[in-house]
Structure 1
Amino acid sequence: MRRRRVAVVLAAGLVLGGGTAVAVGFGVQDGEPAPGPAAAPGTAVAASPDPVTSSRAVPAPTSAAPSAASPSAEPPPQERAALPERVRIPAVGVDSDLLYLGLNDDGTIEVPAGDDIDRAAWFDGSPRPGEDGPAVIEGHVDSPNGPSVFYRLAELEPGQEIHVDRRDGSTATFVVDRVEQYPKKQFPTRAVYANTDGAELRVITCGGAWDADWGHYVDNTVVYAHEV
């Protein structure tokens, strides 16, 4: 099966931009050394010019094309999934249309802000939901408006469903495998963002206590799910 590469290969950080001191922090930080002082508290994300292109090399042309039964034949490219438009998680009352967010100038992942602060977002450097690899959806746990889109995310349990509605009218449905909480300073980047053999989903928000001195929540909640 062809594998979709995720743009977040060695991502060590998602951080709240804008410098606001209210409790809307959403971020992760790897326990591994950051690439430089400018990266703290988040670190640069390794972006690919085509994050969903397969990493498999195309074989060189030969004098005779291999037969369809030949084990050396290159499999056809995987058809692109339609772009996501909405995320619904009935068990915790989530129903939000999706922003498309990428990277900030410093290489950290953008997060919802301004009038969109309480909406969920798909990180457009990750696979589209339904494509091989871990699609990433993010959102705040709270905001100046009160509880935000993923306020109850940590309540999810294995077996519950997450639905991502797509632009072509189809829906990708994922089943929760597990819900983890990690200290941001020990965030397991590779475990969260590593390539997968099938379509998976990561839903990320903040968790734990609010650290007023740091200006962030101390933990991240990560939901791991696979497509069914």
Structure 2
Amino acid sequence: MAAPQTTDSPSPGAAAPTGSLGRALFWPLAAAGLGMTLIYHSIGSPADGKAPAPPAAAVSAAASPSASGTSKATPNASPSLPRSVPTRLRIPAIEVNAPFTPLSIGPSGRLDAPPPNDKNLVGWFKDGATPGELGTSIVAGHVDTTTGPAVFLQLSSLKPGATVDITRADGTVASFAVDTVETFSKADFPDEKVYADTPDAQLRLITCGGNYDRKAKDYEDNVVVFAHLDSVKKG
């Protein structure tokens, strides 16, 4: 199901109002411990503040596969992988099967959004941890576009324990288990909770949610999926 919307919001099966992408995916990204702030936004959002330097990618050790080719988390250790770019995201519970595009910080000093003309595309912050590395990997996608529902339309309906599989360029599949799905007001976004660095490999999936404010041309909330790397296998 789509994120909760008022009667003034675009319906899941209808195109979003003209110009809705101006601020459709606008969220703060704080690199805790580095004193940096990045803002993820859709095309056309205003730029605020000075462009920060991107956070350094986390250095991680390769997981040691078991005889079956799969590495599982144990009480004393968590799986992790060396750096490798993601190529495809699969979330069976909500029928997501989408390719990746890298996202970077634009001239405005804010993190660019995935192209709005492709409804089945997700982006990852290319200067942060890649999915499976030690640290927090950031993946974002549209809930809708001007042409209708998009890749993360049903993100808010994910349940704890759901599987998120990310295929990587090195041929491995990083399988994440959902811990929680939370909704935060954009006016009071918990930067540190969402973006703080972690000692294990974690994932954040982010999209818009809540009511759609036609005047502001923006959703009021963000939906954030918190997940941890559960296993690693060959693709």
Same fold (TM over 0.5): yes
- 2:100 matched to which residue of 1? 98
Give, in angstroms, the shift of residue 171 of structure 1: 0.2
Q: Is the 8 A contact 1:28 1:185 kept in 2?
A: no
- 1:127 matched to which residue of 2? 129
Instruction: Name the structure with the higher strand share.
Output: 2
Q: Deviations over 1:154-181 (max 9, x none)?
A: 0001000100001122100000000010
Q: Is the 8 A contact 1:28 1:42 kept in 2?
A: no
Bigger Cα Rg: 1
- 1:21 matched to which residue of 2? 19
Give, in angstroms, the shift of residue 187 of structure 1: 0.6
Q: Distance in 1 between matches of 2:51 and 2:124?
A: 15
Q: Distance in 2 between matches of 1:161 and 1:22?
A: 31
Q: Distance in 1 between matches of 2:175 and 2:204?
A: 13
- Are residues 179 and 173 of structure 1, via their aligned partners in 2, closer, same or farther at CA, if it must alter by over 3 Å? same
- 2:73 matched to which residue of 1? none
Q: Is the 8 A contact 2:58 2:134 kept in 1?
A: no
- Are residues 188 and 197 of structure 1, via their aligned partners in 2, closer, same or farther at CA, if it must alter by over 3 Å? same
- 1:227 matched to which residue of 2? 229
Q: Distance in 1 between matches of 2:116 and 2:198?
A: 34
Q: Is 1:47 matched up with 2:50? A: no
- 2:68 matched to which residue of 1? none
Give, in angstroms, the shift of residue 126 of structure 1: 1.6
* Length-normalised TM-score, structure 2: 0.69
Aligned with 1:80 (options 72, 79, 82): 82
Q: Is the 8 A contact 1:205 1:222 kept in 2?
A: yes
How much is the aligned-residue C-alpha RMSD, in angstroms?
Answer: 2.7
Q: Distance in 1 between matches of 2:174 and 2:186?
A: 29
* Consecutive aligned runs of 4 or more in structure 1 exceeding 3 Å deviation: 39-46, 114-118
Q: Distance in 2 between matches of 1:147 and 1:209?
A: 15
Give, in angstroms, the shift of residue 27 of structure 1: 1.7
- 5+ long unaligned stretches in structure 1: 1-19, 55-77
Q: Is the 8 A contact 1:29 1:185 kept in 2?
A: no
* One-letter amino acid of the counterpart of residue 175, structure 1: A
Aligned with 2:213 (options 194, 211, 214): 211
Q: Tell me the SS of whatever aligns to 1:116.
A: coil
- 5+ long unaligned stretches in structure 2: 1-17, 30-36, 38-44, 60-79, 231-235
* Length-normalised TM-score, structure 1: 0.71
- Are residues 44 and 214 of structure 1, via their aligned partners in 2, closer, same or farther at CA, if it must alter by over 3 Å? farther
Q: Tell me the SS of whatever aligns to 1:115.
A: coil
